[in-house]
Structure 1
Amino acid sequence: MKKLLLILSILISGSSFSQDGIVLSQENASEKGITPIWPKCDKSRQTPVNCFDQKMRRHILEKFEYPEVAISQGLEGTVTVEFIINKKGKVEVTEVTGAHRYLQREAIRIIRLLPKMEPAKWGSKPIAVAYEVPITFRKPK
């Protein structure tokens, strides 16, 4: 329950200090140019934030698999996955909302497949960054 309250306060306030260090919201981190470094983004000509965004979109498209049971039941909708890339560079899913649970499971699977990253840093201190990603499911035609 404490973790849930902490996460909610982080998402509402934008940034927070916790026992584990600083957690920034996606918006605040992007404004400050703070982002986890996706593998190989450190060698990219893009800014780390732009590289992260591009790699995230590509990851979702490449890993996306419409669940057969969802297709057979005609399920569609948008699932929003809230997660943190922690100060060790690992993904922690914190909340999932929207659509049917079969679609939620697929969205969680996609996010959990994110690679381990170099954590975001505030100065030289690793910090966690909270993200919110909507994934829309539409029946294949």
Structure 2
Amino acid sequence: MKFLFAGILFLSFLNSSWSQESGLKYNRPFVIFEGCDDNDDKVKCYDIKLHELIGKNLNNKVFKDSLFLLAKKDSITVPTSILYDENGVIVKSFSSITNPVKGPSDKLKGLLDSIPQVKPVLDEYNNGVAYTTTNLFAYFLDRTKDSIIPILGFKPTEVPFSIIEKVPVYKGCNEDLSNKELVKCMNGKVAELISKHFSTKLAKKLGLPPGIKRIYVEFKIDKKGKVTDIRARGPHPDLEEEAIRVIEKMPKLKSPGYFRNKKVIVPYAIPIVFRVTD
């Protein structure tokens, strides 16, 4: 039997992000949601209005029945990433509201249609500027009253990569890079780590049948930049233990992830992929 290491696929779930460049001036630095014109804190008003609007739509039977059936807890968190164009209109192909009970690849289709046009960000010449808002909204599943209720004032401690504002920085990566470049750099560093330390001899000893094999590894980067809560699922318990052993070798990161200028825990998922042949 031959063992061929085919490489590593890294699942970061990072959406495209449009952000304001530092040093530029804006006459309107944030979008204005319907009904927030006269509010002193327009960012907070936007968050509350969108939070309540999504909650209202989640109470529609088509969404509510599924959430009540599949949610394992009495509360859920819903990641949102909304890109508004220069006129304040949602760009649906670059926007998402993630299904909290089915994972990052599953979107709550139809909810974007309920979000109204906003007043866009304006540069110093009053030209509209495309802008992305990201949120992690929490909701209480009140099964006794058959209702989904927004949990206002929720401050997340764990934020998925789909909406993270500043990704964790791996040792050896330049923290001045963009999120996309930082993820690419980290992908390469993790791939090097696994290629160097993963034992191919172990896989040969297990007598696995021919074909493509995957070991799915999940872990979290805590607020100190340390890797924690490593879990693995693969075709053999020994391979799962080996994957965990290798990920435990990851050094403490230069900096953790940030959301709303605060340190947060960031989950990662890595499939280690290899091929076994006769």
Distance 1:97 1:28 in 2: 26
CA contact (8 A) 1:98 1:104 kept: yes
Distance 2:162 2:207 in 1: 34
Give TM-score, length-normalised by structure 1: 0.72
Residue of structure 1 in register with 2:267 after alignment? 130
SS at match of 1:51: helix
CA RMSD of aligned residues (A): 3.2
Tell me, yes or no, if structure 1 residue 24 matches structure 2 residue 156.
Answer: no
- Superposed, which structure 2 residues align to 1:10-89 within 5 Å? 13=100, 21-29=156-164, 32=165, 34-42=166-174, 47-68=181-202, 70-75=203-208, 77-89=213-225
Matching residue within 244, 247, 255 for 1:111: 247
Give unpaired runs (5+ residues) of structure 2.
1-71, 78-98, 105-135, 139-154
1:50-102, CA deviations, whole angstroms, 9 ceiling, x for partnerless residues?
2122212222212221243x412313631101110111111113432121001
Moved over 4 A (4+): 14-17, 43-46
**For the structure 1 residues 106 and 140, does the alpha-carbon distance in structure 2 shift closer, same or farther, using more than 3 Å as the test?**
farther
CA contact (8 A) 2:169 2:186 kept: yes
User: How many matched pairs?
Assistant: 130
**For the structure 1 residues 74 and 115, does the alpha-carbon distance in structure 2 shift closer, same or farther, using more than 3 Å as the test?**
same
The answer to which structure, 1 or 2, has the higher relative contact order (CA under 8 A, 6+ apart) is 1
Distance 2:234 2:244 in 1: 12
Distance 2:225 2:235 in 1: 28
Distance 2:186 2:137 in 1: 22
- Greater helix content: 1
**For the structure 1 residues 45 and 131, does the alpha-carbon distance in structure 2 shift closer, same or farther, using more than 3 Å as the test?**
closer
**For the structure 1 residues 43 and 84, does the alpha-carbon distance in structure 2 shift closer, same or farther, using more than 3 Å as the test?**
closer
Give TM-score, length-normalised by structure 2: 0.40
**For the structure 1 residues 44 and 63, does the alpha-carbon distance in structure 2 shift closer, same or farther, using more than 3 Å as the test?**
farther
Give unpaired runs (5+ residues) of structure 1.
none
Larger-gyration structure (1/2): 2
